[in-house]
Chain A
C-alpha cells in the first residue's frame, strides 16, 4: 500500500537549470508534507515543508508546490547546483486510522551535471 509515491527513481539535470521532483499521495487525510534530502552514508535531513492550507512555500532556491485536488506535490530547485545531487524523499503526515503517521516515498536520486 504505497500511500506516497515518487514515480521517478532518478533524475539528471544540467547545472544552472531547474530540477523538478514530483510526488503523489493517495490519502486525503495527509495535511502536512515534507521534503528530505539524503546524501550517501548520512541520514535524511529536512529541506522544506508545506501545510495543506497552502499551495506554495518558498525557501531560497527551493520551492514546494501543493495541488490538493490532484494529490500531488513537487519540489523545484532553481538554479540547480552540483551540491544538490542527493536522494530526495517526499513525506506526508496526517492522522490516518486513528494515529499520527509520517509516510515516506521511495525517493528520487537527483544528479546535477556540471
Chain B
C-alpha cells in the first residue's frame, strides 16, 4: 500500500538553529500538507501546497516557516530559527485531489525537540 514517508523520525536541535523536515508524498498525489501536534494537544494545520505554491496557511505558519518541493518528489518544511515552542510532532500528508471529501494520508511523523 502506498505510504507517505518522513525523515528524520526524531531530531533534536538547539534553539535558534534551522531545521528541515522531509517528506515523500504518495507519487500520484497532488496536494500536500503539514500538520503538527504539540504533546498532549490536538493536531493543528500548518500549510497546504498545490501546484508548487502554498494554497493555504494557518496563523502558526509565520515567517520562520517555509515549504518547498525541490525536486518533484520531496516536500520539505523548513523552520529557520527554532524556538522552544516549536517542539512537536510534525506530520506530512497528501491527497490525490483537493476538496473536503478527500482523505488525507499521513506519514508517521517527525518528532522535533528544541532545547
Complex Cα gap A41–B45 (Å): 19
Complex Cα gap A95–B56 (Å): 12
> Interface extent on B, as a size class?
20 to 34
Q: Is B99 an interface residue (CB 8 A)?
A: yes
Given contacts A31-B100, A100-B98, A100-B99, contact A45 B106 (CB under 8 A): yes
B43 / chain A contacts, CB cutoff of 8 Å: 44, 89, 104, 107
B100–A44 CB distance below 8 A? no
Q: A34 to nearest B CB, angstroms?
A: 7
A43–B42 CB distance below 8 A? no
A101 / chain B contacts, CB cutoff of 8 Å: 45, 56, 100
Count of interface residues, chain A, beta-carbon cutoff 8 Å? 25
* Beyond A34-B103, A107-B42, 11 extra complex contacts between A and B, CB < 8 Å: A42-B109, A43-B91, A43-B107, A44-B43, A46-B104, A46-B105, A49-B101, A93-B101, A94-B100, A101-B100, A105-B42
Q: List 18 A-B contacts (CB under 8 A).
A: A32-B101, A34-B103, A42-B108, A43-B93, A43-B108, A44-B91, A49-B101, A49-B103, A89-B42, A93-B101, A94-B100, A95-B100, A100-B100, A101-B56, A102-B45, A102-B104, A103-B45, A107-B43
